[in-house]
Amino acid sequence: MGKTILTGVKPTGAPHIGNYIGAIRPALDLAAAHEKSFLFIADYHALNAVRDPAALKRDSYEVATCWLALGLDPAKTVFYRQSDVPEIFELTQLLAAVTPKGLMDRAHSYKAAVDKNREAGRDADADVNMGLYTYPILMAADILMMDTDIVPVGKDQVQHIEFARDMAGYFNHAFKDVFKLPEYKLAGDTGAILPGLDGRKMSKSYNNHIPVFMESKARRKLIMKIVTDSKLPEEPKDPDGNTIFQIYAEVADENAAREMRAAFEKGGMGYGDAKQKLFEALEAAFEQPTKIYNDYMADTSKIDALLAEGAEKARAVARQTLARARAAVGLKAS
């Protein structure tokens, strides 16, 4: 039997090229290569931190649109909003009943919040809400609900998948085998970390990122800002220590990338030329996705319709899992 892939994305604004290469593209490739796949917008997870309803709504549309524009096929991958599948929240409560408090105390994200408070001389639990504290239980429910085999995630999420496995084990041991034990797969484990405009890791928090979706003019301006050394065009350069080439190698086709590498190594490739080539490669790679993105964002009712269909499919699976779990603990399996 084929494996089931599932991953969730928090609606936190538009992705940059680092997110695309390191997380979105590998997850889409994995979904395409497996029989069953689920991808959802983790809006209840976002709610622990968001207090602006308009932003939550906008960012949820935005993230849905990005994934659709970048190649998610809703006919193949079940694509839904977490908040449209109420069964997940009931399963969260069933899992909470078998989850030791100590497990939550050990969660990295909770511990990081506590450490920050201690350093600032505040009460250890200042600004920690129960949503943040029990975040891993909701996440386990997301995963276990769909009989997931593999969860593609970034490094920071590995502990959460291990916790989901633990919770599946506690439940199966206390009652009977209801849940499959999921495994994580580091989404970016084959690829490199993409550098940003200043040569550090591309990241929203360094504000050195290149958004995936942008107008051509703005994109060109940004590419021209990539920091380089002051080597002359004729001098040989190391392509692997060079931001322009590292991004180019991920978005251009293989032959073009090989040519740029050779030209840098031999000498004769100036940074200005290379930036122009990178700009053209990004334009070519994202022209079609940008059209799709603009179309969906101009008419969000299309996204609503797609997500409603996805929620129906997700709920059909969820109802079965929940019925199994309710029956196992001695509740009426309604």
Window 39 to 98, contacts with ligand TRP (CB under 6 A): 42, 45
Q: Does 153 bind ligand TRP (CB under 6 A)?
A: yes
Measured between its terminal Cα atoms, the distance across the chain in Å is 28
Segment near ligand TRP (CB under 6 A), from 6-14, 172-180, 248-256, 261-269? 6-14
CA distance 47 to 288: 32
Window 9 to 68, contacts with ligand ADP (CB under 6 A): 18-19, 21-23
The candidate with the shortest Cα–Cα distance to 37, out of 7, 64, 82, 61, is: 7
Judged by CB, which is closer to ligand TRP: 69, or 143? 143
Pairing of the two strands 150-153 and 36-41:
unpaired
**Strands, E, within the chain: which ranges?**
4-9, 36-41, 77-81, 150-153, 183-186
Q: Does 23 bind ligand TRP (CB under 6 A)?
A: no
Provide the residue type at 89 as one letter: F
Q: Which residue in 107, 137, 143, 194 binds ligand TRP (CB under 6 A)? A: 143
CA distance 80 to 169: 27
Q: Which residue in 8, 15, 270, 310 binds ligand TRP (CB under 6 A)? A: 8
CB of residue 286 to ligand ADP, shortest distance in Å: 16
Q: Does 152 bind ligand ADP (CB under 6 A)?
A: no
Structure tokens at 206: 């360094």
Residue with tokens 């495994």: 183
Q: Which residue in 104, 187, 252, 274 binds ligand ADP (CB under 6 A)? A: 187
Judged by CB, which is closer to ligand ADP: 144, or 187? 187
176: Cα separation from own chain's centroid:
32
Window 121 to 140, contacts with ligand TRP (CB under 6 A): 139
Three-state SS for 153? strand
Q: Binding partner of residue 139 among ligand ADP, ligand TRP, none, CB under 5 to 8 Å per kind?
A: ligand TRP
Residues 50 and 56 sit within 8 Å (Cβ to Cβ): yes
Q: Binding partner of residue 194 among ligand TRP, ligand ADP, none, CB under 5 to 8 Å per kind?
A: ligand ADP
CA dist 192 → 41, 46, 150, 187, 264 (Å): 26, 27, 21, 11, 20
Q: Does 157 bind ligand TRP (CB under 6 A)?
A: yes
Segment near ligand ADP (CB under 6 A), from 112-120, 176-184, 187-195, 260-268? 187-195
Q: Does 142 bind ligand TRP (CB under 6 A)?
A: yes
CB of residue 72 to ligand ADP, shortest distance in Å: 16
Q: Does 317 bind ligand TRP (CB under 6 A)?
A: no
# residues near ligand TRP by CB under 6 A: 13
Instruction: Give the burial class of 123: count Cβ atoms within 10 A of its Cβ; 0-12 exposed, 13-18 middle, 19 or more buried.
Output: exposed
Q: Does 251 bind ligand TRP (CB under 6 A)?
A: no
Judged by CB, which is closer to ligand ADP: 244, or 311? 244
CA 261, 266, 269, 270: dihedral to nearest 10 degrees? 120
Residue with tokens 């891993």: 136
Q: Which residues bind ligand ADP (CB under 6 A)?
A: 18-19, 21-23, 154, 187-188, 193-194, 201-205
Q: Which residues bind ligand TRP (CB under 6 A)?
A: 6-8, 10, 42, 45, 139, 142-143, 151, 153, 157, 160
